[in-house]
Amino acid sequence: MNDSKKMEDLLESLRIEYLSNLPEKLDSLESLVLNLGRDQEPTEAKKELYRSIHSMKGSAGSYGHQFISTVCHYWEDMIESMRLQKILQDDITDRYLKFVDILRTYQSNPALDISTLEKNLILITDPEKSFNKRALILENSNMISKVLAGTLNEKGYHTSFAFDGYVAIGRLVNEKFDFLVTSYQTSTIDGASLINSLRVIKGPNQNIPAALITSSDFAGFNIVHDNNHILHKEDNLIGQFLELIS
């Protein structure tokens, strides 16, 4: 047996072992959800839930279970969206438990066609709306993020959030989006470099429209692309944005 085959066998055994240990982790998540209070303050239980989701997202990706990471991304997006809107809906516990149900379904049959499960993820995050497009927002300002998300929602986009350039690249490589909007000043990777990277990575989002929010006339795009756009922060930002996505 050559080294390559040994490595493949080892990785496969680790993938299987990860799934075999997953029910215990899901039981823990379910317990945290059931113990959540109904108040809007960031209680320790909510912090622990978020940490557990974030940890599962990273570990699942390391073991090749990208769908689990995607579910965790959606769950984090929902938590962040509700924080920005400063609301806590009455049915939040039920909706959180639906994330756990989807993960249990995948754990029991990882070879399952996940297209239906992916559609259910969007229905969980906003059951009142039917989104047919996805947008990723990378913006340091909570106020601007909230306005951008609301505008995109009205235009039929389900919105996801990233708060770090490396995280954004990871999501753009592994998930399908229809639109990217990023500020220039972001942590780890500036917005222009993020868009430049997007154009050279041969992935599902290489040619999607991407908007850079900046105060400068110099965008820093190293690659000319018809779907690269600049939004000037001081010049009716939302009006420019509406025109771009309409």
Task: Report CA torsion sign: 186, 189, 193, 195.
Answer: negative
Q: Which CATH architecture has domain 1-127?
A: Up-down Bundle (1.20)
Instruction: Look at the pTM and tell me if it is higher than 0.75.
Output: no
If you classify domain 129-246 with CATH, what class do you get? Answer: alpha beta
Going by C-alpha positions, the residue among 234, 229, 191, 228 that lies closest to residue 206 is 228
- Look at residue 47 and give its three-state secondary structure: helix
pLDDT given at position 35: 80
The pLDDT, as a whole number, for residue 143 is 85
Report residue 96 as tokens. Answer: 């959180």
| Top-confidence residue, 142 or 244 | 244
Q: Look at residue 55 in the predicted model and tell me its pLDDT.
A: 93
pLDDT in tens, 135-193: 999 998 888 888 898 899 888 888 888 888 888 998 898 888 999 999 988 888 889 99
Q: Where are the domains of the chain?
A: 1-127, 129-246
Which band of pLDDT confidence, cut at 50, 70 and 90, is reported for residue 225?
confident
- The whole-chain average pLDDT of the chain stands at 84
**Is the pLDDT score of 219 beyond 90?**
no
C-beta separation of 161 from 185 below 8 A = no
The confidence score (pLDDT) of residue 44 equals: 76
Q: Give the range with max mean pLDDT: 85-94, 128-137, 234-243.
A: 234-243
Q: Which residue has the tokens 């050279």?
A: 200
